[in-house]
């Protein structure tokens, strides 16, 4: 486990300044571990009683403010009891009885009145509070904070910890999202910190701890590949290593090939974290962000800043523009979840596409896709919830069904790019028994109503993609979404074309 404090150096400084602030990050990034460690360190120093407790139990209270207060205070007391603190630091038992809606404030005041140390409170899973309960608790924190200058006892610092950023709590409690709304319960909160993902060096440090404990090494290429696939998302970093060392039972040095296998196993198994990620895709707020990213042909509405912030807080997209999926594993999961309906309709045998020499028969796959597209395309595009990205999702599902039995698919897509890049890798044995890798590249474009034929631009984009992959040929697929497009039974023509640099490529018009 990496030392938590260096991942969040600003938190200690804000606590020492008696500030109230938000710490937010996606699930499974280390928030709870970081706060628990920080609370222990602060308490051990002797002048602070720092306690972390979870608000999750209060989720069922909904708008029942009194019930929510009781469950929060029960959770707080139980966390204090588990801490091993001396009697004089523990909160009062029983809590003072007062009208619901003021009980949380009064309980904290009474605890701080009795405590010989300054009290610091970490409220984990603050997202669990809903409706009037959320508004009430935050309002009570505001009132207690504002009474401190008059000598009223109250926690010196309070940290709200959850997935969402400051503006999300403001909106959830009925306030305006701007930072300086004086009527908001959040005007006391001076800052909002985000717990970042691991850097490449931190992944190497984490894996080196495994090496020191067991003697099992990761090659540098394997560590680099983990960073490339995960972009440092902590749950994914740990899950890949656990998959390799425990579930796959690898005992020797860990290589990039085993990292690739672990990635596929994680995605196929739809581990809890990845499954919950997929479950978000049809939420209206997430769909408004993800659909143009997957489609690649349109920009996200520039006024859609609240939805973008929400998707970033969940860890689905990158923190910096342009908006794109946060890491390659998430990219893969998203397309597989969205393409599940199509994949159920693909009945071709993947083994039949393997040539006698072990290579994959991509030309035959494309011809089979044309047959599938003519038969099912019209219905599937109408059924697909992500209508703007339906063509890309359907072809990706078809490819996944037939390639992923023995090869690998990498896909790149982002809002505003007007394309999706597809990279197929197929391992096979050469004549001498050595391991070889067949590599194929595809560019996906959509001809939308009112636009010009995307073929010239697509050939130039495919050229750049082939340059990057050092390949001499590739495939450009153009989906025609115009009202005047040919009838479905006539779609699927192939032609040869020359890219601006002189490469001979195949063009499929679907």
- pLDDT reported for residue 8: 81
- Do 152 and 242 have their domain in common? no
The residue among 142, 162, 194 that closes a domain is 194
Nearest to 471 by CA among 448, 434, 441: 441
H or E stretch including 287? helix 284-295
- Do 117 and 230 have their domain in common? no
Q: Is 284 domain-assigned?
A: no
The residue among 194, 216, 243 that closes a domain is 194
Q: How far apart are CA 492 and CA 510, in angstroms?
A: 5
Q: How far apart are CA 282 and CA 482, in angstroms?
A: 26
Alpha helices (H) along 175-254: 200-214, 220-230, 234-242
Contact 486, 446 (CB under 8 A): no
Cα 207 to Cα 2, 8, 34, 266, 508: the distances in Å are 10, 21, 19, 18, 45
- Do 21 and 156 have their domain in common? yes
DSSP per residue, 374-406: HHHHHHHHHH-SSGGGHHHHHHHHHHHHHHTTT
pLDDT digits (tens, 9 = 90+) for 350-389: 999 999 999 999 999 999 999 999 998 888 888 778 888 8
Q: Is 476 domain-assigned?
A: yes
Over residues 70-81, the mean pLDDT reads 96
For residue 429 the two structure tokens come to 């044995």
CATH number at residue 133: 3.40.50.300
Tell me 149's DSSP state.
G
- In terms of phi and psi (left: phi > 0; alpha: psi -120 to 50; beta: otherwise), the region of 429 is beta
- pLDDT reported for residue 298: 56
Least confidently predicted of 2-11, 239-248, 390-399? 2-11
Cα angle 144, 39, 52; round to 5: 60
Instruction: Report whether pLDDT(187) > 60.
Output: no
Q: Is 38 domain-assigned?
A: yes
- Do 254 and 314 have their domain in common? no
- Do 338 and 472 have their domain in common? yes
Tally of CB atoms within 10 A around 391 = 26
The answer to whether the Cα torsion of 422, 426, 431, 433 is positive or negative is positive
Q: How far apart are CA 31 and CA 40, in angstroms?
A: 14
Q: Is 285 domain-assigned?
A: no
CATH number at residue 207: 1.10.8.60
Tally of CB atoms within 10 A around 340 = 13
Q: Is 14 domain-assigned?
A: yes
- pTM of the shown model: 0.79
- Do 401 and 420 have their domain in common? yes
Alpha helices (H) along 314-454: 328-338, 340-344, 362-383, 390-403
The residue among 174, 194, 214 that closes a domain is 194
Pairing of the two strands 435-447 and 420-429: antiparallel
- Do 355 and 467 have their domain in common? yes
Q: Is 277 domain-assigned?
A: no
- pLDDT reported for residue 189: 63
pLDDT digits (tens, 9 = 90+) for 258-296: 999 999 899 888 767 788 878 889 899 899 899 988 887
For residue 104 the two structure tokens come to 């949380």
- Do 170 and 242 have their domain in common? no
Nearest to 409 by CA among 385, 398, 507: 398
Q: Which domain holds residue 204?
A: 200-269
Least confidently predicted of 89-98, 399-408, 431-440, 458-467? 399-408
- Do 481 and 441 have their domain in common? yes
For residue 308 the two structure tokens come to 């973008």
- Do 15 and 125 have their domain in common? yes
Q: Is 280 domain-assigned?
A: no
DSSP per residue, 61-114: GTT-HHHHHHHHHHHHHHHHHHTT--GGGSPPSSPPP--TTTHHHHHHHHHHHH
H or E stretch including 259? helix 256-269
- Do 261 and 118 have their domain in common? no
Q: What domain count does the chain have?
A: 3
Contact 11, 159 (CB under 8 A): yes
Instruction: Report whether pLDDT(181) > 90.
Output: no
- Do 180 and 299 have their domain in common? no
Q: Is 289 domain-assigned?
A: no
With bands split at pLDDT 50, 70 and 90, how would you rate the model's confidence at 249? very high
pLDDT digits (tens, 9 = 90+) for 476-503: 999 999 999 999 888 999 999 999 999 9
């Amino acid at each position: 486990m990496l030392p938590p404090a260096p991942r969040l150096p600003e938190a200690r400084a804000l606590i020492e300044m008696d500030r109230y602030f938000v710490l937010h990050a996606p699930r499974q990034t280390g928030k709870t571990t970081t706060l628990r460690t920080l609370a222990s360190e602060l308490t051990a120093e002797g002048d602070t009683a720092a306690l972390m407790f979870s608000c999750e139990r209060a989720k069922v209270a909904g708008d029942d403010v009194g019930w929510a207060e009781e469950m929060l205070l029960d959770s707080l007391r139980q966390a204090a009891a588990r801490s091993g603190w001396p009697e004089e630091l523990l909160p009062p038992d029983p809590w003072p009885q007062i009208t619901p809606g003021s009980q949380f404030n009064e309980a904290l005041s009474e605890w701080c009145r009795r405590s010989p140390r300054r009290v610091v409170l970490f409220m984990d899973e603050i997202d669990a509070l809903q409706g009037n309960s959320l508004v009430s608790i935050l309002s009570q924190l505001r009132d207690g904070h504002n009474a401190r200058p008059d000598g009223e006892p109250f926690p010196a610092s309070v940290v709200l910890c959850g997935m969402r950023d400051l503006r999300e709590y403001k909106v959830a409690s009925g306030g305006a999202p701007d930072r300086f709304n004086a009527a908001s319960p959040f005007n006391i909160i001076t800052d909002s910190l985000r717990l970042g993902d691991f850097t490449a060096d931190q992944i190497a440090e984490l894996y080196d701890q495994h090496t020191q404990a067991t003697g099992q090494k990761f090659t540098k290429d394997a560590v680099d590949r983990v960073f490339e696939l995960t972009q440092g998302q902590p749950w994914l970093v740990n899950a890949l290593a656990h998959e390799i060392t425990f579930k796959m039972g690898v005992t020797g040095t860990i290589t990039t090939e085993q990292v690739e296998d672990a990635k596929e196993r994680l995605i196929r198994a739809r581990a809890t974290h990845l499954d919950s990620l997929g479950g978000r895709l049809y939420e209206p707020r997430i769909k408004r962000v993800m659909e143009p990213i997957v489609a690649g042909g349109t920009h996200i509405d520039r006024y859609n800043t609240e939805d973008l912030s929400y998707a970033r807080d969940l860890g689905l997209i990158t923190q910096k523009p342009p908006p794109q999926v946060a890491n390659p594993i998430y990219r893969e999961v998203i397309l597989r979840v969205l393409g599940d309906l199509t994949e159920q309709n693909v009945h071709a045998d993947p083994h039949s596409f393997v040539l006698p020499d072990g290579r994959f028969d991509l030309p035959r796959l494309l011809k089979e896709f044309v047959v599938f597209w003519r038969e099912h395309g019209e219905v599937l595009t109408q059924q697909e919830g992500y209508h703007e990205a339906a063509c890309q999702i359907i072809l990706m599902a078809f490819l996944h069904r037939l390639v992923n039995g023995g090869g690998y698919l990498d896909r790149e897509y982002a809002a505003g790019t007007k394309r999706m890049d597809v990279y197929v890798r197929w391992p096979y044995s050469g004549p001498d028994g050595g391991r070889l890798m067949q590599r194929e590249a595809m560019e996906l474009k959509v001809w939308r109503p009112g636009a010009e034929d995307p073929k010239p631009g697509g050939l130039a984009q495919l050229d750049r993609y082939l340059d990057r992959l050092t390949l001499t040929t590739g495939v450009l697929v153009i989906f025609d979404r115009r009202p005047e497009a040919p009838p479905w039974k006539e779609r699927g023509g192939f032609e040869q074309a020359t890219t601006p640099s002189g490469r001979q490529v195949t063009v499929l018009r679907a």
